[in-house]
Each structure stands twice: as structure tokens, then as C-alpha cells.
Chains A and B, each alone.
Chain A
């Protein structure tokens, strides 16, 4: 589908960029619709569907019961019969309610049916902590999804990508999860009007450097950039890569960077054990072992649920400070 993005950019927040992305999709795709809990009248609890009900009507902006199995099943059934659904799972934590529909139906259907079907389904869902929403409304579970052959997983870290990846996801003929971040909703930047795609499967270099590559996911990109400033003061020139897409993962950009910097750190907000950082580390040692001057480092959440109390949550979440501390310690700066 043709892009309509003009040269005109405005500074808008992440939350509005999601809204614009969905709006562009609804305009260009006849049988696209949004379905989920409180997406229509309420415009979602996060506000990113605001105004869409008025513009596109209740047949295409559909409030559903609180029934995640039903909602995802609705998306699967509609996507294989001529529609292009945008399915909203309000908090990513709720995928536990519909993991069969995701893992056993959506992800595998095309393969199981020998290619006899396609599933152009987009799932928007909200991840991340930092707002005292505690253990069941704060998780980053991208690794659960990236482990499933058949679905794609993207994690926009900023407003430009939130819009462009939403459009790319909806134009893709595969199931794509767009994992949003609730602590990023107010972050603003220049975003073009009209439609454009951010390609799925391409990482972005957010800061160039020569001494250490940090691969970060979603909001951790900003924490990594903060750490890069602090580490620069200590004489370490850090390159920051925004993974953007987890599945497929852009190993090439990461490996090329490490060939230059010879050191690697992966940062994500998800629990470190079994997180996607472990996969990325494995890929780096497989493809760039001889370029490494130091063991691959990982920063992630400790092996515990997301706590409620702000003091505890702050201790739990990786930050620019904790990234900096980790690098200083490991590299003995």
C-alpha cells in the first residue's frame, strides 16, 4: 500500500502516534477493524483509540466483553475469512488468558494447513512497569511470543516507530504483535503526518560509538542512551542499538556493530533469566565470538515478579544508573 507521509512533521507523543497509525490503517484497509476491551467508547484505558469510534463507527471499532480467548479467537477467525483485524490486549500480562489462541491457533495455523491460509492480524498490547501497577499489569513478556514460530514481534521505543511499526504490522500478512510501552506514552518527538512504514526486522542505531554496543529493547533504549552519556564521561564511547523487532531479530546490525566496538551489552526490562537477551547473547557469540574483547553482558529485571511499592519497583527496573553501574563493574572502569 502506498505511503502518504508528507514532509510535514509535528511533535506528538507516543500515545497519539499509535492513534495515527491505527487511523491510517483503518482508512486504507477496507476490512480492517479494532476489537478489544474498552477500545470504542473509552478509546482504550490508555487513550490511543480516542476519536476512532466517531470516525469509523461501531462496526469497525468494537468494544468486546472481557474475554481474551474470545477476542483473539475473533481476530483469528476474522483474519482467515477476509478481514484484517487489529486486536487489542489491554495489558500484555493478559496474554496468559489467551495463550492457546495465540500459540496453538494464530501462530501455527498457516504452517499446519500447509500454507492454505494467511493471517493478517495485528495485536496491540501494552507492556512495561514503572507505574506501580504491580505484578499483573507491568510485565514485559516479549520472550514468550518470540519463541513461537509463526508470529512476529515488534517493540517500538518511540513515537515515530510506534506509528510506523503499527502500519507495517497491519500491512503484513502475518500475525504481528506490537508491544507498546506504557511509560513511553507521553514521550514526544517529530512524527510525519500520513502513512509510512518502519520495516519489521530492522534494528536502528540510535547513537554511534566505538567501545561498546548496547542492544536495548523498547523503553530501555532511552535508559541505554542515558547510560551512554554517563559512560562517555568515563571515557567509554557507547553505540546504542534499538532492536525494534524481536522476531525477526536483526542480528546483522548487531554483529556489524560488535565487529567495530568489540564489546556487547543487552538491556531489557523483562526478567533477565530466559529473557530475549539470552538469545541475543547466544547469537552474538555464535556470529561474532572472535571479535569480542570481553564477556557479553546482560542487564534485565531480577528473577522476581514486578513489585508494587515505588521504592521496590525502582530497585527492580533497569535504569541508566544501573546500566552504568553494571558496565563499570564488569569492565572495571
Chain B
């Protein structure tokens, strides 16, 4: 694989900052009761989405999880329709029908966040089957968590993807918890990637807090899939800085503050910014300017979302079925 250019490094950084700031502001909006329903935030896990999506075109597809905003931002999602969807407005990506857990956009190859743990991998495998049948060179990446790795659906999808040698990459975002249950209490396996050998596909473990490690491992897996050599199971060890749902969650004492603080010492963005400065790719002023620009976009998008109309109640039954126009 080619050495990452300065441009790539800057794009990786921008992707992560855009995700981080999008999520932080979404968290604030939920705490202010502006966003209804559940909100599973991606803060802390940004390096995974950024490092993987850097290798994907708009035509490549992904399936996401209930913690899906980061994937969509990294895939090219725009803030305005994203916030509008979280606010339940008609200008949202799903016209307010899906919300946080079902946010999607087919034009960007984002085949959906998914409220069902383990829901995505079989769909990704099907999209990869479609790419193979139609003779495209597109790759499908399926994100799922350590919790989902125990679902039968994930097992079936991995087996079929390997059997059919599909252009697919399975990215396990192992954040150490299936909801509130720590990994050691939900599986004996330490590295989910170990399971890959059982499917006859490569299993790779990457440091999910190091965007370059993810970038390199994902690059190899995606290139392999694109060349028709079949799927890879890539496990990225990561951590959610916020709670399972919302910023502070339900106050369930399932992990210690010390543990959270320890992981925050390895904040993927802080670490990468130090590296970029060291490499002379960006200086701290340029980094500040990036945040200012992203924040301006976010403020504009939130204003847009809040000013957008709610869906017309007459639209309730629209799109239950496809109807010929």
C-alpha cells in the first residue's frame, strides 16, 4: 500500500474532528431535550470510521450499527440532513422516519444504521454479493461491535462471505462492552479477530485509537476484497468515552471513572494531532482553524435543523410500500 500523503493525513484528521464535534453537539442537544429518543454517540471511536472510510468511494457501501453517526459523517454525510434527522424533521436524511438508529443515505452508499445488534452484517454480505454478481469493483464494509459478534446473524454472514469469496470487510469495533456488559462477561474470546480462522478468512487486530493503524489495516483488507480475494475480519480495539446511550447515560455503575480516564489518555484525535504537529503536516493554529470551520458548519446545520418543519402528519403512511408513480 502507498505511503499516506499529507493530504490523506489531513483528511483523516478532518473526518475525526467532524465526527467528534458532530457527536458532542448532538449530546448537548439531547441533554437540552432538543433531540427525542435514544442517541448512541461515537465519541472516542472516531479513528475507526475515519481510517476505514478513507479507502472507500461513494459507490462502495457500508452497513452501520446503532452507533452510526460517525460512519455516516466519515462516508460523506452532511451535517444539515443528519441533524435534521436526529431532530425528527422532514429535511432529515430519512424525512424524520428513522432517526438516529436508522440514519442512512443510499447515494452515499450508507445502507443504514441499524437498531438491531448484528443486523448489518447479513445485509452487507448481500450487498457484496450484488457487487460481485453485477461485476462492479465495489466493496462493502460492515461495522459491528464486540456484542454483535455473539449474534448468529454475524456468524452466518461471515461464513457466507468467505464461502462466496465476496468483496466484503467485516470491521468489529470492539469497544469492550456489549451495552453494559464487559467483553470478558460476554465471551471467552479476547480477540474477536481470532474467530476469522474458523471462517477461513484473515483476522487482523488493529489499535482502534490509532487512526494510522486502522488506515493501514483497513487499506490492506479493502484492497484484498477489491481484488476479488475475499473478506477479512478486522477488529479495532476502541472505547466509547460517553455512555452506551447519551452522554452520561443512565448512571449504571458498570465501569469505573478511572477506566474511562485511562482510555481518554489515548484519545485518537489528541494523539493524532500531536503526531501531525510533529510531522509538520499541521500546526496548532491550523488545527484551531479546522475546529472553527467545523463548528461553524455545525452551528449552521443545527440552526437549519431546528428551523426545519416537522414531517406533515399526512406523510405517516408514506413509504410503507413502494408505489408506482
A and B part of one assembly: yes
Taking Cβ atoms with an 8 Å cutoff, the residues of A that contact B are: 31, 33, 35, 59-60, 64-65, 67-70, 72-83, 85, 100-101, 104-105, 109-119, 149-150, 152, 173-174
User: Which of B37-45, B118-126, B249-257 is near enough to bind chain A?
Assistant: B118-126
Which residues of B are found within 8 Å of A114, using beta-carbon distances?
A: 92-98, 319
Q: Give the top 7 A-B pairs by smallest Cβ distance, nearest first.
A: A73-B122, A77-B126, A114-B95, A70-B156, A115-B319, A114-B94, A67-B156
Taking Cβ atoms with an 8 Å cutoff, the residues of B that contact A are: 61, 63, 92-98, 102, 104-106, 111-112, 114-116, 119, 121-131, 133-134, 140, 152-153, 156-157, 159-160, 163, 318-322, 324
By beta carbon, the residue of chain A nearest B161 is A70
By beta carbon, the residue of chain B nearest A79 is B126
Which residues of A are found within 8 Å of B134, using beta-carbon distances?
A: 31, 82-83
Among A85, A101, A110, contact of B322 (Cβ-Cβ < 8 Å): A110
Contact A118 B322 (CB under 8 A): yes
Contact B98 A74 (CB under 8 A): no
Contact A73 B133 (CB under 8 A): no
Contact B102 A113 (CB under 8 A): yes
26 intermolecular pairs with C-beta atoms under 8 Å apart: A31-B134, A60-B133, A67-B159, A69-B122, A70-B122, A73-B126, A74-B122, A77-B126, A77-B127, A77-B140, A78-B127, A81-B61, A81-B131, A82-B134, A83-B134, A100-B119, A110-B322, A112-B102, A113-B97, A113-B98, A114-B98, A115-B95, A117-B106, A149-B320, A173-B322, A174-B322
| Known pairs A31-B133, A73-B122, A100-B119; A81 contacts B97 (CB<8 A) | no
Task: State how many angstroms separate the Cβ of A10 from the closest Cβ of chain B.
Answer: 32
Contact A174 B122 (CB under 8 A): no
Contact B119 A173 (CB under 8 A): no
A102 to B119, CA, bound (A): 11
Contact A78 B130 (CB under 8 A): yes
By beta carbon, the residue of chain B nearest A120 is B322
Task: State how many angstroms separate the Cβ of A38 from the closest Cβ of chain B.
Answer: 15
A83 to B128, CA, bound (A): 11
Task: State how many angstroms separate the Cβ of B170 from the closest Cβ of chain A.
Answer: 13
Contact B126 A74 (CB under 8 A): yes
Contact A83 B130 (CB under 8 A): yes
Contact A81 B130 (CB under 8 A): yes
By beta carbon, the residue of chain B nearest A35 is B129
Task: State how many angstroms separate the Cβ of B13 from the closest Cβ of chain A.
Answer: 30
Among B63, B105, B115, B126, contact of A75 (Cβ-Cβ < 8 Å): B126
Q: Beyond the given A105-B116, A117-B104, please list 10 additional residue pairs across the A-B interface where CB-CB is below 8 A.
A: A70-B122, A70-B125, A70-B160, A72-B122, A75-B126, A81-B127, A82-B134, A101-B122, A105-B114, A111-B97
A79 to B102, CA, bound (A): 18
A101 to B156, CA, bound (A): 12
Contact A77 B324 (CB under 8 A): no
Contact B321 A105 (CB under 8 A): no
Which residues of B are found within 8 Å of A83, using beta-carbon distances?
A: 129-130, 133-134
A174 to B320, CA, bound (A): 10
Which residues of B are found within 8 Å of A67, using beta-carbon distances?
A: 156, 159-160
Best-buried of A60, A65, A80, A113 by chain B (most CB within 10 Å): A113
Contact B159 A70 (CB under 8 A): yes
Among A33, A65, A69, A109, contact of B112 (Cβ-Cβ < 8 Å): A109
| Known pairs A70-B157, A82-B134; A110 contacts B319 (CB<8 A) | yes
A33 to B129, CA, bound (A): 11
Which residues of A are found within 8 Å of B160, using beta-carbon distances?
A: 64-65, 67, 70, 74
A111 to B121, CA, bound (A): 20
By beta carbon, the residue of chain A nearest B99 is A112
Contact B106 A116 (CB under 8 A): yes
Contact B159 A65 (CB under 8 A): yes
Contact B115 A104 (CB under 8 A): yes
Which residues of A are found within 8 Å of B125, using beta-carbon distances?
A: 70, 73-74, 77
Contact B126 A76 (CB under 8 A): yes
By beta carbon, the residue of chain B nearest A31 is B134
Contact B94 A113 (CB under 8 A): yes
A74 to B126, CA, bound (A): 3
Which residues of B are found within 8 Å of A77, using beta-carbon distances?
A: 63, 111, 122-130, 140
Best-buried of A79, A83, A116 by chain B (most CB within 10 Å): A116
| Known pairs A69-B156, A112-B94, A116-B94; A76 contacts B133 (CB<8 A) | no
A118 to B130, CA, bound (A): 15
Which residues of B are found within 8 Å of A79, using beta-carbon distances?
A: 126
Task: State how many angstroms separate the Cβ of A175 from the closest Cβ of chain B.
Answer: 9
Which residues of A are found within 8 Å of B63, using beta-carbon distances?
A: 77
Among B61, B153, B321, contact of A100 (Cβ-Cβ < 8 Å): B153
A80 to B110, CA, bound (A): 11
Task: State how many angstroms separate the Cβ of B28 from the closest Cβ of chain A.
Answer: 25
Which residues of A are found within 8 Å of B124, using beta-carbon distances?
A: 77
Contact A59 B96 (CB under 8 A): no
A91 to B129, CA, bound (A): 24
Which residues of B are found within 8 Å of A72, using beta-carbon distances?
A: 122
A2 to B163, CA, bound (A): 37
Which residues of A are found within 8 Å of B133, using beta-carbon distances?
A: 31, 33, 59-60, 78, 83
